[in-house]
Amino acid sequence: MAGHTENAIVIDAPMDLVWKLTNDVPSWPELFSEYASAEVLAQEGETIRFRLTMHPDEEGRVWSWVSERTPDAATRTVSAHRVETGPFEYMRIHWDYTEVPGGVRMRWVQDFAMKPTAPVDDAGMTARINRNSAVQLERIKSLVEAAR
């Protein structure tokens, strides 16, 4: 069994602003409360390769990994995956942005599988991602709406 999550929020702001702020990877440490740093490693066309580093966890461990993401402004979608998978067999993330009454619906779909040696299984990571996504989406909504 693999993990799958789908989380979304409606942000009361224009599409161009939501798109710009949420796709500015270097600013993610301000946008997401979980990231201590976001370092761009390479860019080829629209595809960006970057390292995310989290704040230390409860036990003082710092988690870091490299991901790639390719935004498509024409379709208002983003495809991303972890290059350094860490505890995941794989992790793929799809973002889509849709204009709806009241603003822009930003949705994250994550498909993944945990390695047998990971500290949590697929179900545990699904629950963790769903809990954290709700927190991060509310934070992003608040910050983007404040910037509007």
Threshold 0.95, pTM exceeds: no
Residue 35 lies in a domain: no
Strands 88-100 and 77-82: antiparallel
Domain carrying residue 86: 3-24+68-147
Residue 106 lies in a domain: yes
The total domain count for the chain is 1
- Give me the pLDDT at residue 61, please: 87
Residue 19 lies in a domain: yes
User: Is residue 1 over pLDDT 70?
Assistant: no
Residue 57 lies in a domain: no
Residue 98 lies in a domain: yes
Residue 44 lies in a domain: no
Q: What is the mean pLDDT of the chain?
A: 96
The answer to whether 131 touches 8, Cβ cutoff 8 Å, is: no
Rounded-to-integer distance, Cα 51 and Cα 40, Å: 7
Residue 41 lies in a domain: no
